[in-house]
Amino acid sequence: MNRTQDRPLNLLDDHDHDHARAWSPNEARAHFRSGLSGPTAGRAAGHTQANLISVPADWAYDMLLFCQRNPKPCPVLDVTDAGSWTTVLAPDADLRTDVPRYRVWEHGELVDEPTDVVAHWREDLVSFLIGCSFTFEWALSEAGVPLRHIEQGRNVSMFVTSRQCRPAGRLHGPMVVSMRPVPPAHLAAAIRESSLLPAVHGSPVHCGEPDGLGIEDLARPDFGDAVDAEPGDIPVFWACGVTPQAAVMASRPPFAITHAPGQMFITDARDEQYRVA
């Protein structure tokens, strides 16, 4: 069942932050399966979040090679067998129903944004679970780094950059980044803590003026929400797992399914599993 119009709910509208933060992964996925949607930053705290992209099997090698050649924006956490909707990251979950909102693509064009993709699922789809920067936000928070998007109840800001990824087979496209405003006193901690989690993008790719990435206006993100900075905050940019969606738009494969930006798959894995020190 396609629930795109059935329950246009938002996590932030329907559950207070502390309640949603305390969800178990199973509880979070059950809410999403019932039709609840919205950004997942700060939800089911302590559990790894992942980007999702599913492509036909004859495109899967290109996608795997694209991720291998561009590990900063596309760190792979798991790859499924063709047709499978399960992952070792959450054995009881269903990749077709347990993401808050999906995107369905045909020839690089967005054709649907449902809250489940059962009706769109194909037996030849191979799914890639890719590390997400929401995972290292626990470490930033523990180090005292303020997270403006969570404070403001917004999705993180994401931007298409002028940096091109290394092509792989038929796939090519620009790198996408997420941006968090960071006070100067917390910049070293933000860089240090995220660098210890390379499987979920690791250290920033850029700090400071956005024109270094070809970004013209921080108030106009390509994905997510505009986030208000406090006076003196420095914009800090991390490689983002929405990059495969940019590759889909640029490369125009015949079919693909992805998560909606900022609305992630919440796994059973613990964040600290991916910390290297």
Residue 120 has pLDDT above 80, yes or no: yes
Selected residue with higher pLDDT from 136 and 2: 136
Q: What is the pTM of this model?
A: 0.91
Report the SS3 class of residue 48. Answer: strand
What are 184-201's pLDDT values in tens digits?
Answer: 999 999 999 999 999 999
Distance CA 209, CA 259 (A): 29
Rounded Cα distance between 149 and 24, Å, is 22
Neighbours of 79 (CB within 10 A): 16
* Distance, CA of 101 to CA of 115 (rounded, Å): 4
CA gap 177, 160 in Å, rounded: 7
Please, which residues have CB within 8 angstroms of residue 16's CB and are 6 or more apart in sequence? none
Spacing of C-alpha 190 from chain mean position = 19
Read off the pLDDT of residues 45-90 as tens digits, 9 standing for 90 and up: 889 999 999 999 999 999 999 999 999 999 999 999 999 999 999 9
pLDDT, position 22:
83
Q: Which domains does the chain have, with CATH numbers?
A: 11-133+250-270 (3.40.1640.10), 135-243 (3.30.2040.10)
pLDDT score of 17: 58
CA distance 11 to 36: 7
Mean pLDDT of 199-227: 96
More confident residue, 8 or 152: 152
Alpha-carbon span 10 to 16, nearest angstrom: 11
- Mean pLDDT within 144-148: 96
Contact 234, 208 (CB under 8 A): yes
